[in-house]
Every structure is written in C-alpha cells, then in structure tokens.
Amino acid sequence: MILKKNNEKHQQDQVVFYVTLVGSFFLLTLYLNDTYFKIDHVLVGVFRELGTLPSAGMIPFLVFISAKRFYEKKYSVISYTFLSLLISSITLVSLIIGFSMY
C-alpha cells in the first residue's frame, strides 16, 4: 500500500514537471517569435492568443504546487519536484521582468 502511494506521488510529480516544461516552452516560443522570428501567420496568432493567458496564469500555480511538494519531500534536490520548481520559478521571474518592462 505504501509503495503504491509513493508511486502515485511520483507520477503526480512527473505530471507537474511535464506541464511545467510545456508551459515554459510555450512562453519561450512566444518570446522568440516576438523578438527574433517575427512569424505573422493567422494560425500562429490564433494559438498565441488562445495559449498566452492560460500558460501565464498556470506558472504561479505551478510554482506554488512545486514548492509545496518540494517541502513535503524534505527538500530532495534530485527529483522532478526540484526541477519543476526551478524551471517554473525562472519562468515566473522572466514573466514578471518582461511585464514590468512594458
């Protein structure tokens, strides 16, 4: 029973990690498209508008969830939780800096 519970928590940590990667990658592609690529197709604009607010709103939530799980794991550095906390924190700081520049 304990092994099954630990396995479920490990799978939840993996899901949070992958969601963090997808959200951060999406915001990174938005930044790269805005500064370097300048792709201005209708389909790219539709995906940009549909995904910007949900992914930007998801990042603070992921920082909170990752920090909570990191605390529950007794600050284990070698884990999906630490990586998702690191990536989501960097993304959140980048978002705050990016929004404050405009």
> What pLDDT shows up at residue 42?
86
State which residues form the domain around 79.
11-101
Is the pTM higher than 0.85? The answer reads no
Full DSSP string of 10-31: HHHHHHHHHHHHHHHHHHHHHH
Amino acid identity of residue 21, one-letter, is: L
For residue 64, being part of any structural domain is answered with: yes
For residue 72, being part of any structural domain is answered with: yes
In this predicted structure, the answer to whether residue 3 has a pLDDT above a threshold of 70 is: no
> What pLDDT shows up at residue 77?
87
For residue 2, being part of any structural domain is answered with: no
For residue 59, being part of any structural domain is answered with: yes
What's the domain count of the chain?
1
- Residue 102: pLDDT band (50, 70, 90) is low
For residue 1, being part of any structural domain is answered with: no
> What pLDDT shows up at residue 41?
83
For residue 15, being part of any structural domain is answered with: yes
CA distances from 8 to 3, 18, 34, 67, 69 (A): 9, 15, 39, 18, 13
For residue 3, being part of any structural domain is answered with: no
For residue 53, being part of any structural domain is answered with: yes
Distance CA(49)–CA(101), nearest Å, equals 20
- For 46-100, what is each residue's pLDDT tens digit? 888 888 899 989 999 999 999 999 998 888 888 899 999 999 999 999 999 988 8
- Residue 4: pLDDT band (50, 70, 90) is low
